């Protein structure tokens, strides 16, 4: 295979670095923040192409490992809870699969050269428990979404397991973030008691989202805990 794996791995690094620099050094970065997206909220709402455009932007940003949390919040603020959650879910999953494919195509061969036997052991683990392992990591919002996308692509994990774990794993977090954004917009616009109650509910759901997987791991109901699941 010669130097081809290294050239492809270098290409992957170049793509990710270029995207990071583009978001920081060009106006693109201004639109990757909540405030930036909200500035064009009314324009997006008035366009029939707004939902498709939003999904394309979300998927493209995720494919090159740009932060998507701001876009998730913006989706809820622009489109509301249910439609926003649908668009956020579509954009995130399409982008995550694209990032996985990009990492697999450009980085897998180079990772094999670098990882050697250690990567072979990880590959076996991913083949046996990749789905449940990734699902748990997806359910805990403390683990970087983009790092999991690229990292999974560098292993021999099956795309089917990756895609299913991603769909199921990010859904609770997507709903909570979208609900929070929708509640925040309502609270800002109306400053009513009901809007503030929704904000408190969203904050409580976010804390629960973090706590439940950690508690389950502590009790041993997920891999790495103190006892086996029954």
| Banded pLDDT at 92 (limits 50, 70, 90) | very high
- Position 75 scores a pLDDT of 87
Structure tokens at 203: 């904050």
**Quick one: DSSP state of residue 225?**
S
Distance from C-alpha of 60 to C-alpha of 211, rounded to nearest angstrom: 31
In order, the DSSP letters of 101-165 are HHHHHHHHHHHHHHHTHHHHHHHHHHHHHHHHHHHHHHHSTTS-HHHHHHHHHHTT--HHHHHHH
- Position 162 scores a pLDDT of 94
- Position 87 scores a pLDDT of 95
Structure tokens at 198: 């929704």
C-alpha R_g of the chain: 19
- Position 67 scores a pLDDT of 75
Q: What is the mean pLDDT of the chain?
A: 77
Among 25-29, 104-108, 174-178, whose mean pLDDT is lowest? Answer: 25-29
Structure tokens at 114: 């670098």
Q: Is residue 222 scored above 60 in pLDDT?
A: no
| Banded pLDDT at 228 (limits 50, 70, 90) | very low
Q: Which of 31, 53, 81 is nearest to 181 (CA)?
A: 81
Q: Residue holding tokens 């439940």?
A: 212
Higher pLDDT, 196 or 18: 18
**Quick one: DSSP state of residue 191?**
-
Distance from C-alpha of 132 to C-alpha of 149, rounded to nearest angstrom: 15
- Position 99 scores a pLDDT of 93
- Tens digits of per-residue pLDDT, 7-55? 777 777 787 777 776 666 655 555 555 566 666 666 666 778 888 988 9
- Position 149 scores a pLDDT of 92
Structure tokens at 115: 């990882």
Q: Where are the alpha helices (DSSP H) in the chain?
A: 4-25, 34-39, 41-46, 50-63, 69-79, 81-115, 117-139, 145-154, 159-190, 193-219
């Amino acid at each position: 295979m010669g130097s081809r794996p290294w050239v492809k791995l270098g290409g992957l690094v170049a793509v990710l670095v270029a995207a990071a620099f583009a978001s920081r050094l060009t106006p693109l970065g201004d639109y990757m923040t909540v405030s930036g997206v909200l500035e064009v909220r009314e324009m997006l709402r008035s366009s029939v192409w707004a939902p498709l455009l939003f999904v394309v932007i979300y998927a493209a940003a995720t494919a090159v490992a740009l932060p998507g949390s701001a876009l998730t919040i913006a989706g809820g603020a622009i489109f509301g809870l249910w439609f926003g959650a649908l668009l956020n879910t579509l954009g995130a999953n399409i982008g995550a699969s694209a990032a996985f494919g990009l990492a697999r195509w450009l980085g897998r061969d180079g990772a094999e050269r670098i990882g050697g036997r250690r990567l072979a052991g990880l590959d076996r683990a991913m083949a046996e428990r990749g789905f449940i392992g990734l699902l748990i990591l997806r359910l805990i919002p403390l683990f970087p979404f983009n790092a999991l996308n690229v990292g999974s692509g560098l292993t021999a994990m099956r795309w089917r397991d990756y895609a299913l774990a991603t769909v199921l794993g990010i859904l609770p977090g997507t709903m909570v973030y979208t609900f929070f954004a929708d509640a925040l917009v309502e609270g800002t616009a109306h400053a009513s008691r009901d809007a503030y109650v929704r904000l408190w509910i969203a904050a409580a759901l976010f804390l629960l989202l973090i706590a439940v997987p950690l508690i389950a791991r502590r009790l041993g109901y997920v891999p790495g805990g103190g006892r086996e699941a029954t």
